[in-house]
Structure 1
Amino acid sequence: MISDTATTPSVVLFGDGRDWHGRSLRRAFERRGIKPVVAPLPACGFSTETATGLAIPGLGDHCPHGAFVRFIPGGSFEQVTLYLGLLHALRERGVTVWNDARAIERCVDKSTTTFFLQKAGLPTPRTFAGVDRSTAEEVVARLASEGHKIVEKPLFGAQGKGVRLIETASDLSPPEAVDGVYYLQEFVPPAQEHHQDWRLFVCGGRVVASMIRHGEDWITNIKLGARAEAAIASQELAELAVGAAASVGADYAGVDIIQARDGRFLVLEVNSMPAWNGLQKVTSLRLSDTVVDAFLAAALPGSTRTVREEA
């Protein structure tokens, strides 16, 4: 069993530890003999008075072997920059960070995700991102003339919030409603009679669980009422999901894929801090344990872990 003392903590878990995912991850670590230091990022900072240059509660002058990022809170540009800077600094110190700041930055910014998907040659809907409204209007008008609708998404957004279906240029939100950036993606009509897409959970370079999300309308987010159905991904889907996660450098990720009417599979998004409570309900695999095992194999290679089963 790994020894984990207050003076030499081996793992830090970034988040408040109180949500379902945080509690689940803590239990998974503890079953493996590790009591992680739980550190909300707003409580952390930099300090020249520590040996590491970092001020993370519970660590003192020590660096952990690994840092698992469950949650990065919102905030001002300066606050979020500091949070990400901490993750960059840990990586520079040789700490294994899941997911590290580079992957998080690439996924939080949907336009950057799109860039890396295209760079890797992975199929994704036609997409435009920019700040100029007149250019956005031209994109909408061009796609509409081809018979397509457009999805307007917040550049930074999750769980289907703020997503709108656009049919004409006049439907575009005013600049202040999209924080001055238009992220537009060609709408993919459902291949079936109803709206559905895939969520594949990638961890350590393989798909460990997957589901089909059935929506009452075109937004198929579980938080907004979509129904989850257990499903086994084909090799084609699995390879696409693994490639999408790798393209942004994510060690674990939730990859959203939709099937077009012509049969093609297209990657919609890659989430570097995915929720998996909906997926957990339709799989027998304990996902927190799977994630923690893969993380510890990377952060503490060669260590022997004794797993304590819960009663």
Structure 2
Amino acid sequence: MSAANVGLWLYENGGGLHIQNAIVNALKQRDINCITGLNLRDAHARDGHIHCNNILMEELDLFLSYNAGQQTQYQLYLYEAISQSIPTINNFNAFALSEDKFKTSHLLNNHGIITPEYRLCHKNDTDGLKKAIKDWGGKLVYKPTDGWGGAGIVKIEGEQALDMLLPFLSRTDLRYFYLERFIDYDNTDFRIDIVDGQYIGCYGRKAPKDDWKTNITSGGSIFVREPTDELINLAKKAALVTGLEIAGVDLIYDREKERYVVLEVNGIPAFATPEQEKLGLNFNHKKIDAIVNLIDRTVCKSNAKVA
């Protein structure tokens, strides 16, 4: 009988199934059994237990949720409940924080990590919106606090454009607006992967022609990029501050203020796809090893407390 049972929910597209198999096989060598496919969409709760595919989630020694955004509120609700009984990776509190752009930026700034200048405005605070665009030289970016992949992000240039947008915004059910100063940059970024405080790898993303968003879902392309020690240390600090065991830290260079800023901290940074590996992104093995070590140590620590 295995010493521990770990539940997994990993994405399967883009080489994800191969990644999952590698994690399962590596953990098996450490006498840790993996139960895969635990999508909380299929789960239900009753009588003090959460059941998913005939598995009692609270009886697991750890649950690793690693599937990109668009999880429903139901899935996240159960994820949080599970985290109150067993270790989760990423731990739910850090994951929930990383899903909120305002709270992430606010926390990073409180710890001396520079992000784009931001403001959170009540939906009826039109004066605050207009002041922000004036203070930031006529350009700002509106972002949903809980969006991903660049969805819903809008660049607003000039007060006239803002005036045209305000009637639409007033009819939405949003309670507040998260705004960032638009940063003059070269339309490329750094994505730096950190696992358990360890630097894993880096790549760059480039926005498509006539656009400024680097997200792959927005048409951005990936290229090999080497980070400096300064950027690696900055990414490590951002991951530590947010509490994420697994983090993808996005950084860009502000040409106006001549400094790097942390744009976002992602709680589900993708592995390199087979196509990207052919381009030279060769960090998957290192990332798998780091995650396996993290799971092993977390399970042993948790079981030691119970004993």
- Which TM-score bucket, shorter chain as reference? 0.7 to 0.9
Task: Classify 1:87/1:115 alpha carbon distance in 2 versus 1 (closer, same or farther; 3 Å).
Answer: farther
SS at 1:210 equivalent: strand
Q: Which amino acid aligns with 1:85?
A: E
Instruction: Give, in angstroms, the shift of residue 302 of structure 1.
Output: 10
* Cα distance in structure 2, aligned partners of 1:24 and 1:286: 14
**Equivalent position of 1:253 in the other structure:** 247
**Equivalent position of 2:71 in the other structure:** 74
TM-score, structure 2 normalization: 0.81
* Cα distance in structure 1, aligned partners of 2:113 and 2:91: 22
Instruction: Give, in angstroms, the shift of residue 152 of structure 1.
Output: 0.5
**Equivalent position of 2:36 in the other structure:** 37
SS at 2:37 equivalent: strand
Give the one of 133, 141, 154 matched to 2:131: 141
* Cα distance in structure 2, aligned partners of 1:210 and 1:291: 11
Instruction: Give, in angstroms, the shift of residue 164 of structure 1.
Output: 0.6
Task: Classify 1:75/1:256 alpha carbon distance in 2 versus 1 (closer, same or farther; 3 Å).
Answer: same
Q: Which amino acid aligns with 2:122?
A: V
* Cα distance in structure 1, aligned partners of 2:152 and 2:114: 24
Instruction: Summarize the alignment of residues 137-286 of structure 1 with structure 2, pairs less than 5 Å apart.
Output: 137-167=127-157, 168=159, 169-170=162-163, 171-172=165-166, 174-177=169-172, 179-190=174-185, 192=186, 195-215=187-207, 216=209, 217-261=211-255, 262-277=257-272, 280=277, 282-286=279-283
Instruction: Give, in angstroms, the shift of residue 209 of structure 1.
Output: 1.1
Bigger fraction of residues in helix = 2
* Cα distance in structure 2, aligned partners of 1:175 and 1:229: 40
Which ranges in structure 1 are unaligned for 5 or more consecutive residues?
Answer: 304-311
Is 1:298 the counterpart of 2:294? The answer is: yes
Q: Deviations over 1:158-182 (max 9, x none)?
A: 1111111012232455145573331
Instruction: Report how many residues are paired.
Output: 284
Q: Deviations over 1:263-311 (max 9, x none)?
A: 2000111111223346655444252x433322332332399xxxxxxxx
Task: Classify 1:246/1:112 alpha carbon distance in 2 versus 1 (closer, same or farther; 3 Å).
Answer: same
Instruction: Give, in angstroms, the shift of residue 29 of structure 1.
Output: 1.9
Instruction: Give, in angstroms, the shift of residue 138 of structure 1.
Output: 2.3
TM-score, structure 1 normalization: 0.80
Bigger fraction of residues in strand = 2
Q: Which amino acid aligns with 1:218?
A: W
* Cα distance in structure 1, aligned partners of 2:272 and 2:298: 30
* Cα distance in structure 2, aligned partners of 1:161 and 1:82: 22
Is residue 203–residue 252 contact of structure 1 (8 Å, CA) maintained in 2?
yes
Is 1:129 the counterpart of 2:125? The answer is: no
* Cα distance in structure 2, aligned partners of 1:244 and 1:109: 15
Instruction: Give, in angstroms, the shift of residue 81 of structure 1.
Output: 5.1
* Cα distance in structure 2, aligned partners of 1:284 and 1:81: 31
Is residue 29–residue 36 contact of structure 1 (8 Å, CA) maintained in 2?
no
Instruction: Give, in angstroms, the shift of residue 124 of structure 1.
Output: 0.7
SS at 2:146 equivalent: coil
* Cα distance in structure 1, aligned partners of 2:63 and 2:35: 9
Is residue 123–residue 174 contact of structure 2 (8 Å, CA) maintained in 1?
no
* Cα distance in structure 2, aligned partners of 1:125 and 1:23: 36
Instruction: Summarize the alignment of residues 85-124 of structure 1 with structure 2, pairs less than 5 Å apart.
Output: 85-90=80-85, 93=86, 95=87, 97-124=88-115
Q: Which amino acid aligns with 2:193?
A: F
Task: Classify 1:301/1:81 alpha carbon distance in 2 versus 1 (closer, same or farther; 3 Å).
Answer: closer
* Cα distance in structure 2, aligned partners of 1:87 and 1:126: 35
